[in-house]
């Protein structure tokens, strides 16, 4: 590194050893002046040794009797004038003696005059490296390098990488700014003094000019992505793609720069020109390059890591053992497929909690969903037939216990009697007789649930065609059921989430399939739709049901209701680690009823959001606003007739608000 602030001060010219050196240097210069007639070469002398360094003076041109010279040193640097050489030579910190005007003469003017009886006119100076600005610049090099090295090491080894945010960005911005300034200064210096701008050093300088803004922008983008993810944002797909493209570009440029730096370091070591500062600077670049390699290389990766850090930060603040267990169950219940969209929902939910430790300590472990209504219900008593006389009448005058397809039923089946024969069949004897014929045709035995499903299918068909139970073809209808049952059974064998039996699945498909699409197939209704509603819909209700059994014991199961914005509803029963579909159909206005429990979000008007965007972007004087009172909206208000007009306005306002937040360093949702 050489000296930085110490040594070669102006006050040292009066030191005894300096005076002695000046006398020695003067005698040696006089000797040279006499020996070579003042015209061979000019030299400088180091204080600590009698080192002679040649400086070549070339006659560049003659003009009006005046000689114009150029000077070339041993580094092949070309200087336009004496002042240029004195101000810009690359000698180390030292005092030197030289001919006053860089040619030997015994007069003070700029005219060559040789007189062996006269003393040569000399000058004594310090090299440019001794100037205060040069000293400060070298100190800054060391400080910035040391700080960068320290932060680079800490950033690599700090758990959770919290230092890689604002601190790393600030250090990176400072280092980048300083590096660009030094590189630009060096390139200008080389260009104005005849040095090559295509050698290895120049290539590194040019590359650093290109890499610095890219790295700075990459750091800023990474920080914005992480900050947004910590507040529950994931940004748009386009923004994430552009950020990922920038990251891969930076990796490529930095990799090439690292290889060139390594080559330059080896080259300097071979030439014995390697300094401690060179090693330090290469170490810093290596640390930052290594830190960059271990960081995520995609926008989604950065967002996911920031989400994990935010969740981990909440977990570390929990002290209660029960709260930790509940928090883990909450994460497992809401992680979905583990993508950034699922992570964003979790982060936003956690940010709403003033004290997560107290919150998770006070909830039941099963009550761990976002936007879910929880309840508990206890059922006691033995289910009974509500209208036994009507039921007996529609069964042909027989008690249900004596019916060939019913017989002894369990409590759940007894409870279903009321819904099937009273609710679906309306106690219609014709419907039940038709269903009985079908069950006989299928040779059904000991399957009360299957028989009740057939009754529901016949009732659904009779609702569409009032004459069906009187004129319908039993064999043809039975053949259709048997054909569909085979398909339904195959679908059920492939899916984990399914109805409790094929008959119930077939009944729901025939009754509700057309609610979701025309010509709905069993494959879609039974194979694809349940997963779609569960994955893309909202878990709206969880009810833990405890039933008191006649035997004195209890039976527990959980009923979960999923809703989708298009009013699709799925009810799932969870019991003994088994999940079965209870029902799945389109329930009118169920989504609207569900969302009523949440406060309506009032978005600022597009006018206000565009005004905020203009202010943040520095364009407030231009008044970049969407004016609803403009000529277009007054005279061409086509959109106002659209039923979704208010939604369009909200979407435009949200877009402007999001753009403004992206421009704010401390953006908040």
Residue range 5-23, pLDDT digits in tens: 456 666 677 788 888 888 8
**526 DSSP 8-state letter:** I
**629 DSSP 8-state letter:** T
pLDDT of residue 238 exceeding 90, the answer is: no
Rounded mean pLDDT, 400-426: 87
Q: 574: part of which helix (H) or strand (E)?
A: strand 568-575
The C-alpha atoms of residue 148 and residue 178 are separated, in whole angstroms, by 12
pLDDT of residue 122 exceeding 80, the answer is: yes
Higher pLDDT: 569 or 637? It is 569
pLDDT of residue 303 exceeding 80, the answer is: yes
Q: Which long-range contacts (CB under 8 A, 24 or more apart) does 616-624 make?
A: 616/660, 616/663, 616/664, 617/660, 617/663
Confidence bin at 660 (pLDDT 50/70/90) = low
C-beta atoms surrounding 22 within 10 Å? 17
pLDDT of residue 361 exceeding 80, the answer is: no
Rounded mean pLDDT, 587-599: 83
pLDDT of residue 628 exceeding 50, the answer is: no
Residue range 33-74, pLDDT digits in tens: 666 654 444 444 444 445 677 888 887 887 776 778 888 888
The C-alpha atoms of residue 64 and residue 644 are separated, in whole angstroms, by 86
Query: Strand, helix or coil at 476?
Result: helix
Helices (H), 429-555: 429-441, 448-464, 468-471, 474-494, 502-512, 522, 529-536
Higher pLDDT: 448 or 34? It is 448
Residue with tokens 């793609």: 241
In terms of average pLDDT, the best of 198-207, 265-274, 499-508 is 499-508
> Do 261 and 204 touch, CB atoms closer than 8 A?
yes
Rounded mean pLDDT, 638-655: 63
Length of the chain: 669
pLDDT of residue 130 exceeding 80, the answer is: yes
Query: Strand, helix or coil at 584?
Result: strand
User: Three-state secondary structure along 125-169?
Assistant: EECHHHCHHHHHHHHHHHHHHHHHHHHHHHHHHCHHHHHHCHHHH
| Bridge pairing between strands 578-586 and 42-44 | unpaired
The C-alpha atoms of residue 422 and residue 384 are separated, in whole angstroms, by 13
Residue with tokens 């409870």: 415
**Burial class of 467 by CB neighbour count within 10 A (0 to 12, 13 to 18, 19+):** exposed
């Amino acid at each position: 590194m050489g000296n930085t602030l110490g040594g070669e001060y102006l006050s040292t010219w009066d030191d005894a050893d300096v005076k002695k050196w000046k006398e020695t240097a003067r005698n040696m210069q006089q000797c040279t002046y006499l020996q070579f007639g003042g015209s061979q070469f000019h030299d400088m002398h180091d204080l600590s040794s009698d080192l002679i360094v040649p400086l070549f003076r070339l006659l560049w041109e003659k003009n009006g009797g005046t000689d114009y010279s150029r000077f070339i040193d041993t580094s092949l640097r070309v200087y336009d004038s004496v002042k240029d050489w004195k101000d810009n030579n690359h000698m180390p910190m030292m005092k030197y003696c030289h001919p006053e005007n860089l040619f030997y003469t015994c007069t003070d003017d700029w005219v060559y005059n040789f007189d062996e009886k006269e003393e040569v006119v000399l000058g004594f100076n310090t090299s440019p490296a001794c100037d205060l600005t040069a000293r400060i610049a070298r100190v800054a090099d060391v400080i910035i390098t040391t700080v960068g090295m320290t932060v680079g090491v800490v950033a690599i080894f700090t758990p959770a990488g919290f230092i890689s945010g604002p601190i790393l960005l600030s250090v990176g911005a400072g280092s980048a700014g300083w590096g660009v300034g030094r590189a630009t200064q060096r390139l200008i210096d080389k260009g104005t003094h005849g040095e090559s701008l295509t050698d290895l050093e120049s290539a590194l300088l040019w590359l650093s000019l290109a890499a610095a803004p890219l790295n700075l922008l990459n750091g800023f983008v990474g920080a914005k992505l992480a900050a947004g993810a910590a507040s529950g944002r994931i940004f748009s797909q386009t923004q994430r793609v552009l950020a990922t493209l920038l990251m891969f570009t930076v990796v490529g440029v930095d990799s090439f720069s690292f290889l060139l730096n390594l080559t330059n370091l080896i080259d300097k070591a071979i030439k014995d020109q390697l300094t401690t500062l060179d090693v330090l600077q290469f170490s810093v670049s290596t640390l930052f390059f290594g830190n960059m390699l271990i960081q995520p290389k995609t926008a989604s990766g950065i967002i996911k890591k920031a989400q994990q850090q935010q969740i981990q930060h909440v977990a570390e603040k929990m002290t209660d053992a029960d709260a930790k267990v509940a928090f883990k169950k909450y994460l497992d219940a809401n992680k979905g497929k583990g993508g950034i969209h699922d992570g964003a929902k979790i982060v936003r939910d956690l940010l709403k909690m003033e004290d997560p430790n107290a919150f998770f300590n006070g909830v039941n472990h099963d009550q761990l969903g976002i936007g879910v209504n929880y309840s508990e219900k206890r059922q006691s008593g033995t289910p009974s037939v509500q209208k036994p006389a009507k039921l007996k009448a529609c069964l042909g005058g027989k008690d249900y216990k004596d019916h060939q397809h019913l017989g002894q039923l369990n409590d759940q089946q007894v409870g279903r009697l009321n819904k099937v024969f009273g609710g679906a069949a309306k106690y219609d004897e014709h419907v039940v007789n038709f269903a009985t014929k079908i069950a006989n045709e299928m040779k059904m035995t000991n399957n009360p649930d299957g028989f009740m499903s057939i009754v529901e299918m016949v009732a659904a068909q009779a609702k569409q065609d009032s004459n069906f139970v009187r004129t319908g073809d039993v064999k043809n209808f039975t053949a259709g059921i048997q054909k569909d049952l085979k398909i339904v059974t195959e679908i059920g064998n492939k899916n984990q989430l399914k109805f409790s039996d094929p008959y119930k699945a077939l009944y729901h498909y025939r009754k509700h399939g057309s609610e979701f699409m025309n010509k709905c197939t069993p494959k879609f209704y039974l194979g694809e739709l349940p997963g779609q509603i569960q994955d893309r819909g909202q878990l709206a209700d969880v009810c833990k049901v405890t039933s008191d059994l006649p035997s004195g014991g209890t039976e527990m199961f959980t009923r979960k209701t999923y809703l989708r914005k298009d009013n699709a509803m799925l009810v799932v029963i969870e019991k003994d680690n088994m999940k079965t579909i209870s029902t799945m159909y389109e329930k009118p206005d169920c989504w609207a009823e569900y969302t009523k429990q949440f406060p309506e979000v009032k978005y600022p008007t597009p006018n206000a959001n565009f005004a905020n965007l203009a202010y943040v972007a520095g364009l407030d004087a231009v008044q970049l606003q969407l004016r609803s009172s403009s000529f277009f909206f007054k005279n061409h208000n086509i959109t106002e007739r659209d039923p979704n007009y208010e939604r369009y306005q909200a979407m435009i306002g949200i877009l402007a608000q999001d753009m403004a937040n992206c421009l704010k360093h401390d953006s908040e949702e």
